[in-house]
Amino acid sequence: MNKKFSVIKINGFKGLFLAIFIVGCLIAGFLIFPGWICMHVWNFIADFFSIMPVMSIVHGIMLWGIIALSLYAINKNDFLISFGTSAPVISNEDRIKDIIKQINEKNAQIIPLAKNNDKINKDSEDADSQDKLIK
């Protein structure tokens, strides 16, 4: 059993309200507030130009979604904050080549040992026969 998992247990209405509150705070913090900032920045810039339309909060959230997804698509794995191991990720081709190399090295070590084992087995049989003759 993997002991790294933790179970979230919600008991009664208090637990349900707490879970809804936490989800609401996450949505407000990561979606609505940045959308509100995008809306105000857009509207501030729109005041200088007569052609640009004014945004509402829904449009600001959509603009924030476009910005966030674009940054995610452009940066791929180059974020400043990352979760997981700190070891650099090598490409699959390099990893496969390393695995094949290790397998070939192990096979090369096994073959001479088998030949040496045959010699050792013959020597041990001779030693056993010599022991039997001596006794």
d(CA 39, CA 62): 10
Q: Which residue has better confidence, 135 or 11?
A: 11
57-75 and 33-46 are packed helices; what angle lies between their axes, rounded to 10 degrees? 110
SS3 of 8-32? CCCCHHHHHHHHHHHHHHHHHHHHH
The string of pLDDT tens digits covering residues 10-38 is 788 888 898 899 999 999 999 999 999 99
Give me the count of residues in the chain: 135
Determine if residue 76 is left, alpha or beta; phi over 0 gives left, psi from -120 to 50 gives alpha, anything else beta. Answer: left
Q: What is the mean pLDDT of residues 84-89?
A: 61
d(CA 55, CA 78): 32
- Other CB atoms within 10 Å distance of the CB of residue 39: 21
Q: Does position 114 have pLDDT exceeding 80, yes or no?
A: no
68: tokens are 């966030």
Mean pLDDT, all residues of the chain: 78
Confidence (pLDDT) at 87: 62
Amino acid (1-letter code) at residue 17: F
Q: What is the mean pLDDT of residues 37-48?
A: 94
d(CA 4, CA 7): 10
Confidence (pLDDT) at 131: 47
d(CA 117, CA 93): 36
- Point out the least confidently predicted range of 20-29, 69-78, 84-93, 98-107: 84-93
